[in-house]
Amino acid sequence: MKKSNGFIYLQLADKIQTMISKGVYGIGDKLPSVRSLHQEHGISISTALQVYLHLEKKGWVEAREKSGYFVQYSHTIRPQLPPVTDPMPTAARVQINERLAMFRKTNSTHKTVSLIGASPHTSLLPAGKLKKALQQTARELTNSYIPYGDITGHEPLRRHIARQCLNWGRAILPEQIIVTNGAIEAAGLCLRAVAKAGDTIAIESPTFFGLLLTIESLGMKAMEIPTDPVTGISLDKLEDAFKKKKVQACLFVSNYNNPLGSCIPDPSKEQLAKLLQKYQVPLIEDDVYGDLHFAPERPKTIKTYDQEGWVLYCSSFSKSIAAGLRIGWVIGGRYHEKIAQLKFMTSASTGILPQLMLVKFLEQQRMDLHLKSLRQSLSMQTMQITKAIQEYFPADTQLTRPNGGISLWVVLPPKADTWLLHQKAVEQHITFTPGALFSSQDKYHNCMRLTNANPWNEDQAWAIQTLGKLISKQLAFRS
């Protein structure tokens, strides 16, 4: 390779970047190995490595351990981030049940292209290995699955969960864990343990409508706290609410919030844990997305830093293995006994057969390998849908940049109405989630949640392109 202006590695990096820009290499494609660059271009191994380090620094490629370099969408050319949210600083009764019922009814049409995903697509999950675990469980069954199980859950499963907790930096004993019917039941039990009807719960703004619906069903109020799309809840605003005794408890999704995808930095989690202890306010931490991180290291939890049991930690296997098993759990801290009592009153125990099957699966499989593959797929799908949104949505669209989880939050120009847009999209057999469902207040009408949970294909690309056309048509009509 001839040397002209600039360094050799920069010339080659520019050529690869041009090929990516022109679509010769698509998002997620594997690039030639360092050794291939060395051989094909007559450069040293160190120079070839410099090529990829330069492209990685610019955001064009990503390195995957023991796999090589892959194309990713450049962070430098992504749409603008949404600002920190600004909800009204007052408590309000949650009233989304009726609107959510309307959404579900409208959304129940068949043969739609889904931009909704409560969990990763089944093709990304270990369906075959789960089937094998189920078959082996059935062959080995005695009558142990017929009676009611232990209120706190199958002990071998609780041991597996306790080992998993080491991933976020906390030694938890099996007897500190209660197995539940998914994370929603866990959150509901925790809310009942720490608050009563009429009490006010601090939540992120926006937040998952399933949590809002749980608050509504218990007759509690919600106070939305300003939330940064990258770093999560505003600790200053939260402490102000603590000082004024405006809230009785908190309910946050600490890692990769649904729908923003925000992740509270670990130092802020430690600070938050100290605030809870100082003001003696319980916090329910929903961490169902923590294992779906795109960066090499898993983020810690607020529970990691909890010294006095004020954090009630909830999670599940719904996002990582199989939502249909309905296996979640709660680590209740100082509220453990009360949660166990409420669990008995609510559902007696969690079905033993799914627990037996899950234990068999966990005994036979390496979760780290499965999660690595799942995270890589979700990361790539995030880049693919992001690129399509930039290409087909209005130029002033704002978009989050989640570093994990399955949600992307889209902020359209103020005149857009995503509830009406959803009705038009359904007519085209496309579904997404309007932003108004993620708040107890009259907010986020120009926002929508999309998902990276579904494999990118022609249907997904067509759906984003069609949505872009519908948005432009709506904005033109309203201008």
- Residues 411-421: tens digit of each pLDDT: 999 999 999 99
Write down the pLDDT at residue 95: 94
CA dihedral 268, 274, 279, 282 (to 10 degrees): 80
The mean pLDDT of the chain is: 92
Fold of 8-76: Arc Repressor Mutant, subunit A (1.10.10)
Q: Which two tokens stand for residue 328?
A: 């979640």
Rounded Cα distance, 252 and 403, in Å: 18
In one-letter notation, the amino acid at residue 54 is H
pLDDT(5) > 50 = no
Question: Same topology for domains 77-85+371-478 and 128-364, yes or no?
Answer: no
CATH number for the domain formed by residue range(s) 128-364: 3.40.640.10
Residue range 77-85+371-478, CATH number: 3.90.1150.10
How far is residue 244 from each of residues 89, 168, 233, 241, measured CA to CA in Å? Answer: 12, 32, 18, 5
Pseudo-torsion of CA 244, 250, 254, 259, nearest 10°?
-100
For the chain, the structural domain boundaries read 8-76, 77-85+371-478, 128-364
| Residues 187 and 252: beta-carbon distance below 8 Å | no
Written as one letter, the residue type at 203 is: I
Which amino acid appears at position 134 of this protein? L
Residue 1: pLDDT over 50: no
pLDDT at 282 over 90: yes
The pLDDT, as a whole number, for residue 11 is 87
So what's the pLDDT on residue 76?
56
Rounded to a whole number of angstroms, the CA Rg of the chain reads: 24
CA–CA separation, 57 vs 244, rounded Å?
Answer: 45
State pLDDT tens for residues 102-131: 998 887 666 789 999 889 999 999 999 999
How does residue 75 score in pLDDT terms, banded at 50, 70 and 90? low
pLDDT for 147 equals 84
Instruction: For residue 73, name the pLDDT band (cuts at 50, 70, 90).
Output: low
Reported pTM: 0.87
Q: What confidence tier does 164 reach under pLDDT thresholds 50, 70, 90?
A: very high
Whether 35 has a pLDDT exceeding 70, the answer reads yes
DSSP state of 369: H
- Distance, in Å, from the CA atom of 245 to the CA atom of 160, rounded to the nearest integer, reads 39
- Alpha carbons 200 and 281: distance in angstroms, whole number: 12
Cβ neighbour number for residue 286 with a 10 Å cutoff: 28
Instruction: Please report the pLDDT score of residue 317 as a whole number.
Output: 97
Query: Using one digit for the tens of pLDDT, what is the confidence trace for 300-323?
Result: 999 999 999 999 999 999 999 999
Instruction: Decide the pairing of beta strands 200-205 and 221-228.
Output: parallel
**Is the separation of the CB atoms in 229 and 204 below 8 Å?**
no
User: For the residues 203-220, what does the mean pLDDT come to?
Assistant: 97
Helix axes 458-478, 367-392, angle to 10 degrees: 40
